[in-house]
Each structure stands twice: as C-alpha cells, then as structure tokens.
Amino acid sequence: MLEMVVEKRLGEFTIDANIACETTGIVALFGRSGTGKTSLINMLAGLLQPDHGRIAINGTTLFDSDKGIDLPPERRRLGYVFQEGRLFPHMTVRANLHYGLRRVPPRERTIQPDQVVALLGLEGCLERRPHHLSGGEKQRVALGRALLANPRLLLMDEPLASLDQPRKDEVLPFIERLRDELAIPIVYVSHSMPEIVRLADTMVLISDGRVEAVGAVDDLTSRLDLRPLTGRYEAGAVIEARVAGHDRDYGLTELAFAGGRLRAPHVNLPVGTRLRLRIRARDVALALEVPPRSSILNAIPAVVRDIGTEECPQVDLRLDAGGATFWARITRRSLIDLGLQPGSAVTALIKAVAIDRYSLGRSAGQGRFLGDDD
C-alpha cells in the first residue's frame, strides 16, 4: 500500500498530490512532461523534501511533516532507476551492481547477484566500465544495481525515455521479468502510453502537479472524460486475450477474447498463454454489416455504448463486444451517414496488421515473456 499526500512549491509550480493505491505489480505515474511526475517520485525517494504532507509504504512512514519524520534516502530502502542510468563511471559493472548490495545486512539479502546477472543477461559485461556499454546495457545494469540493494519498492523514472526504439524493445522484456519473476512492486514514471499499457496494472494520472485519477489501466484509458489527459492519438482499449491457435501457413495467431476471436500476426507463444492486447481507436473502423469481400480479417460484432462529444471532425465511440470494451475513431461525417447512436449494433473492423508486437504485453503471472520470441 502506497500512501502519499504531499504539497510542494517549486517556483511558480505547485505540486498538490494525493495518491493511495496497492503496490502490486507496476503502478504507473502517467502525465505529460513537466507535470511533476519526477518531483513526486523524488519525494518518494527522499531526494526532494515536500513542504507538507505524509508518505508511507506498507505502513512504514517515510515522511511526515507533522511528526517531524523525514527518513534520509539511504534509509528508505527504495531502489531508484534513473532515466540517465547514473552508473558510477569509475567502477566496473560488477562494482556498480554490488554498490547497494554491500550496504544490505547479509541476512536481509533476498536477491543475489548471480540471480540478477542471469535475469538481466549481464554475464558478458561484468568487468567492463559503464563508458563502454550500449544504452540498453547501461539501463539493464542500472536495473540490476537498484534491485541488488534489496529494495521494498523499485522506482523507475522514464527508464526507457533516453533509448531509441530497438533499445527500448531490448529493455522492456527485462522489466516484465522483474515484475513477474521477482514479484517486486514497481512505481513507474512515464509519459509513454504504449509503455504503460504494456507494463502497468494501475495508473495514476498526473496533470499540472495534481492527481486526476487513480485506477486500473484499462479503466482509465477507456474513460472519455480523461481522454484529454490520456491522449487522443494513443486512445484505445486494453483487452485481456488468450492465444487460441496458430495458422502457420499464413503466419497468423488467433487470439480469443470476451467478444470473439481476433487474428493477428504470428506470435511465438504456446496456445493458452494469456496476453494483454492494446487496440488503438484509430485502427478500428465501423460498418453496419460485415463487408462481403474485404482485406480485413477481424470483424467483431459490437454495440455502441457511448459517443464522444468533442467538437472536432473525428469522434471516439466506445463499443461493447461481449463484455470487452473497444474504442473506434471515425469521422463525424461517417457517424451521421451511418446514423449511429448509443445502442446501435455495428461490426468493428480491425486490421490484423494493426495488432503489432508492441501492442502485446504478457499478462502478469505467466511463465514466458515476449522476448523469447524467435
């Protein structure tokens, strides 16, 4: 349980946040740049002192201005993975990894170096210095270093933001492994919705130094009123799905979800693997009946539940397909032409190729992760 009620003035900017949520899996702090996410996580870590408030994790008070409690960072036992890695340049990778571990009393060491080195694939670079590592390797070492301090919680401040896409894809599966195999709670700061959808269970929406909403990622991303914060371009729904079968001839994988079956480009996972699947609103088209001949493989029957009221040429519609929530973005013109209203029955058309590797995240608790793909 993470409880955080803090106030902090930073020049003209004021942070006034109230967060209370369970710390299972990954809790994402999401907001645009300059909304105070990093300040919040720094207050959690003890690197920034709130003007007023209280911070507690699982009943342990870290900060309480009324009681005069302010644990210094070294006594908070929170691992911190910084955006820029912050590896110590004068130490080898091994010395970096051991820096925090050495300061943990032996009987409290539940995470061991061999385990972390294997988990993060660092065998080959232990004797090297940070200067000679690639960006992805640096972030993996930073992850390992924070982990080996045996923290009660891991803080990550945009750990992928300074990496290019291939490096991001390299590091992401490792974060999923931490979450699933070590069961260590993580607070993850990001302004990237795809990352959050792939990794996080709970989302804290931050805007202008305030907490706008706290809840499950699927719930918050499908709320119309939060659309201005969660972002139009990335708007979409997260769907729990299961690998139902493979079509080797065409290189397709069939995914079963509450509303039926979806065909997507092949993913090398055994039948039965549970996945979370993100489908962006702009990848969903609507028709009143199933088009007789079309290239679109996925035609899902659905009912319109909600229609966005934003004053612009595009409209977002919330659809219900057998209990699963979908979003579709169409033009206002099409909305009028088709005469759609809440309650209308429609067919949601989803291009198979719109479901890419990046939109698939492993559901927590599964034994494999997507990085095992060949």
Q: Which positions touch another protein (CB under 8 A)?
A: 45-47, 72-80, 82, 84, 86, 88-90, 92, 99-100, 103-104, 128-132, 145-146, 149
Is the Cβ of residue 36 or residue 151 nearer to another protein in the bound state? 151
Round to whole Å and give the CA distance between 150 and 79.
Answer: 8
In a 3-state reduction of DSSP, which class is residue 258?
coil
Nearest approach, Cβ of residue 90 and another protein (Å): 5
Q: What are the helix (H) ranges across the chain?
A: 37-45, 93-101, 113-120, 135-148, 165-177, 193-199, 217-221, 227-230, 332-338
Total Cβ atoms within 10 A of residue 64: 16
Nearest to 280 by CA among 226, 345, 222, 235: 235
Is the Cβ of residue 141 or residue 229 nearer to another protein in the bound state? 141
Nearest approach, Cβ of residue 285 and another protein (Å): 47
In a 3-state reduction of DSSP, which class is residue 65?
coil
Give me the amino acid identity at 113.
Answer: P
CA quadruple 229, 232, 237, 238: dihedral, nearest 10: -60
Is the Cβ of residue 64 or residue 84 nearer to another protein in the bound state? 84
Is the Cβ of residue 46 or residue 185 nearer to another protein in the bound state? 46
Nearest approach, Cβ of residue 363 and another protein (Å): 30
Nearest approach, Cβ of residue 87 and another protein (Å): 8
Is the Cβ of residue 65 or residue 92 nearer to another protein in the bound state? 92
- What are 317's two structure tokens? 């519609």
Q: DSSP code of 354? A: G
Is the Cβ of residue 86 or residue 274 nearer to another protein in the bound state? 86
Round to whole Å and give the CA distance between 297 and 267.
Answer: 17
CB 192 within 8 A of CB 161: yes
Ordered DSSP codes for 9-56: EETTEEEEEEEEE--SSEEEEE--TTSSHHHHHHHHHTSS--SEEEEE
Is the Cβ of residue 90 or residue 368 nearer to another protein in the bound state? 90
Is the Cβ of residue 116 or residue 346 nearer to another protein in the bound state? 116
Nearest approach, Cβ of residue 146 and another protein (Å): 7
- What are 137's two structure tokens? 């390797």
Give me the amino acid identity at 240.
Answer: E
Nearest approach, Cβ of residue 85 and another protein (Å): 9
Give me the amino acid identity at 46.
Answer: G
Residue with tokens 């130490």: 91
Nearest approach, Cβ of residue 12 and another protein (Å): 23
Between the alpha carbon of residue 95 and those of residues 24, 140, 236, the distances in Å are 30, 14, 43
Distance of CA 74 to the CA centre of its chain: 27
Nearest approach, Cβ of residue 212 and another protein (Å): 28
Nearest approach, Cβ of residue 135 and another protein (Å): 17
Is the Cβ of residue 54 or residue 98 nearer to another protein in the bound state? 98
